[in-house]
Amino acid sequence: MKVAEMIGEVRKIVESWRKEGLSVGLVPTMGYLHLGHESLIEKAVEENDRVVVTIFVNPAQFDRAEDLENYPVKTEEDLKIIEKIGGALVFLPDATEIYPEGFNTVLEVEELDKELCGATRPGHFRGVCTIVNKLFNIVGPTRAYFGEKDYQQLAIIRRMVTDLNMPVEIIGCPIVRDEDGLALSSRNARLSADKREKALILSRTLRELKERVAEGERETSKLIRWAIERIEKVPQARVDYFEVVDRETLQRLDVVESGGVVAAAVFIGKVRLIDNILVG
């Protein structure tokens, strides 16, 4: 496995693969890999001749300095994981390689980024679109893999790729959960044992909401009110948003329809966690 810090090196390596007619899978990450990332890399290795994993904690997509500063890092371990699964190249740039002086281009998906995380994290998806667009142009992958935990991110990236005719296939992969139901996230590392226990309220509430829908409750305002009350009964848990939206347009639904997704963000103390579940 090769590790490259410079864009020019990455281009050269991938170019040589392309000349051999090999397909290339890309898994963009911010590092601190967990089983969720591993599932993306495994799928990419299954479906492509070569796999590139990027590790870059993208400052442009952090709206809170505190969150960026505390984002966990374990690069040496990450590299071992990637090599074991079968990655061929890791791109590990620093911020000056990605955002050179005079950087001035703005890229965003206008409607999809107004709701959910976009409403409470200004500029976040602009940062996501920019870095993902750049990585696609640097690597030129056949396919790129994203987790469905970041549901809105996946919808926005799909829209950007369609709108800009980017020659890459976007593959969404299911959420990976711990045995107790907590959606895996690098940010879980910042939870104490006590807070980790409290954080379970999010996945539990989503699962029970789905059951309520199965039992016939369709009115989203009722479901949401019930869910927020339930979550905020837990000490130190605060709902950032809790919404039922259309799977593609991310527009709010008044009644649960087929094609709905329940998406939520909850602060447990200072750590913000997201999760979602398909309903209807």
List residues forming the annotated binding site.
30-37, 61, 147-150, 153, 176, 184-187
Binder to its own copies among 134, 143, 149, 198 (CB under 8 A)?
134
**Nearest to its own copies of 137, 192 (CB atom):** 137
The values of phi and psi at residue 259, to 5°, are 95, 15
Closest contact distance (angstroms) between CB of 104 and its own copies is: 5
**Angstrom distance (rounded) from CA 262 to CA 277:** 5
Residues making up the binding site for (R)-pantoate: 61, 153
Binding mask of the shown chain, residues 246 to 275, with x at each position contacting its own copies by CB under 8 A: ---x--------------------------
Site string for its own copies, 1-30 (x = CB under 8 A): ------x---x-------x-x---------
Burial annotation 218-242 (CB, 10 A radius, 16+ → b, else e)? bebeebbebbbebbeebeebebbbb
In the complex, least distance from residue 159 CB atom to its own copies, rounded to whole angstroms: 6
Q: Is 124 a catalytic residue?
A: no
Instruction: Give all strands of the β-sheet with 143-147 in edge-to-edge order.
Output: 2-4, 89-91, 50-55, 24-29, 143-147, 169-173
In this chain, which of 13, 166, 239, 261 binds its own copies, going by CB under 8 A? 166
Q: Which is nearer to its own copies, 138 or 183 (CB)?
A: 138
Instruction: Give whichever of 81 and 107 is closer to its own copies, judged by the CB atom.
Output: 107
By CB under 8 A, how many residues form the interface with its own copies? 32
Which residues have C-beta within 8 Å of that of residue 88, sequence separation ≥ 6?
1, 2, 50, 51, 52
Q: Compute the Cα dihedral for 131, 146, 240, 110 and give only its sign.
A: positive
Indicate the residue type of 254: D
What is the footprint of its own copies within residues 89-118 (CB under 8 A)?
100, 102-112
CA distance 117 to 103: 25
Report the C-alpha gap between 115 and 248 in whole angstroms: 13
* Distance of closest approach, residue 160 Cβ to its own copies, in angstroms: 5
For its own copies, which stretch binds (CB under 8 A), given 30-38, 128-136, 187-195, 233-241? 128-136
Q: DSSP secondary-structure letter at 20?
A: T
Does the CA dihedral 61-79-95-45 come out positive or negative? negative
3-state class of 274 per DSSP? strand
Among 165, 179, 193, 258, binds its own copies (CB under 8 A): 165
Catalytic residue of the set 17, 25, 37, 50: 37
Note the residues at the interface with its own copies (CB under 8 A).
Answer: 7, 11, 19, 21, 100, 102-112, 129-130, 133-134, 137-138, 140, 159-160, 162-167, 249
Catalytic positions are 37
